[in-house]
A and B are shown apart, each in its own frame.
Chain A
Amino acid sequence: MIRALVALLLLSLSLPLAAQQNMPPAPYAYRQLDDPAQEAAAQDLMETLRCLKCQSQSIADSDAPMAGDMRHQVRLRIAAGEDPEAIRAWLMQRYGDYVSYKPEVSATTWPLFAVPLLLVLVAGALLLRRLRRRA
């Protein structure tokens, strides 16, 4: 009896979840553009855009329906002649740095670029001092 109830409960949970996949994917979610150069530009861009539903994947990597809708939009805009960086800017205007995987120097990220440089300089200075002392 309890087993039947649990099964029923699980079934009722799985129905709406399955429905998310019932809609056909957006036309250009899985279809490449006919022009290979445009498709390459779209692919390059999609690999550096973050999927919002599955936050550790690029939209090129993700099978989430929302990522498919984003790919559709990227491909259509590129086919219409829009510049990839303009599409990235459009998305960043809506979702912030979050949506882009492309490293960018900004008010919050500059230490990531500055600290390694600083460490190399310190290491160089230490090495120089030691070599001089030995000589």
Chain B
Amino acid sequence: MSWRLWLPLLAFAGFLGLAAYQLTQPKDEFVESRMIGQELPYFDLPPAMEGVEGASSASFADGKPRLLNIWASWCLPCIAEAPQLESLKRQGAEIVGIAIRDRPADVGRFLAQNGNPYARIARDDLSEVQLAIGSSGVPETFVIDGKGVIRYQHIGDIRADDVPVLLEKLEEAR
């Protein structure tokens, strides 16, 4: 019997091995935005509640780098990242919030409970800006440079050790 008879079985075993290996690898659930390095798409959103300012793409292009925080009052990890946003603000970061599918009353209650680190808070009722900048969930945080160009994306809630990274990215965007 020729040894070559075993080749197909070997190839099949190799395929099984590859599939088994890939199945044990952790899956990357994050969908990264391809908009890094691109200008913020045009938008002009109304304020998310009374007493705050809304935000537009033009409000980013005034020479000052900012953080753009995509969040919502119904989002649990957003509560977890509130202290980190506060700490970023204390260290000089200007944070613009965009509240996704949110009501003014809920936004107000969230800020009363968890503090308000935002310079502006806009409402995005149809996820339009979220889709336009390639964000796929809440919370996400983008670094926007002074020309209104997206420089960096942080997916998920900001943990304590992400704070220096974001400050550094803000500095780089200067």
Query: CA A16 – CA B139 in complex, angstroms?
Result: 14
Residues of A in contact (CB 8 Å), total 25
A53 & B74 in contact (Cβ 8 Å cutoff): no
A112 CB to nearest chain B CB (Å)? 14
Q: Secondary structure at chain B's binding surface: helix, strand, loop or mixed?
A: loop
Contact with B along A29-56 (1 / 0, CB 8 A): 0000000000000000000000011010
B75 within 8 A of A: yes
Report A-chain residues with C-beta under 8 Å of the C-beta of B79.
16
B134 & A95 in contact (Cβ 8 Å cutoff): yes
The residues of A with any CB-CB pair to B shorter than 8 Å are 13, 16-17, 19-20, 22-23, 26, 52-53, 55, 65-66, 69-70, 72-73, 91-96, 98-99
The residues of B with any CB-CB pair to A shorter than 8 Å are 29, 31-35, 72-76, 79, 101-103, 106, 125-128, 130-134, 136-137
Sample (27) of A-B pairs whose CB atoms are under 8 Å apart: A16-B79, A19-B74, A19-B106, A20-B72, A22-B74, A23-B125, A52-B31, A52-B136, A52-B137, A53-B137, A55-B29, A65-B127, A66-B127, A69-B126, A70-B127, A70-B131, A72-B126, A91-B131, A94-B35, A94-B131, A94-B133, A95-B33, A95-B34, A95-B136, A96-B31, A96-B32, A98-B31
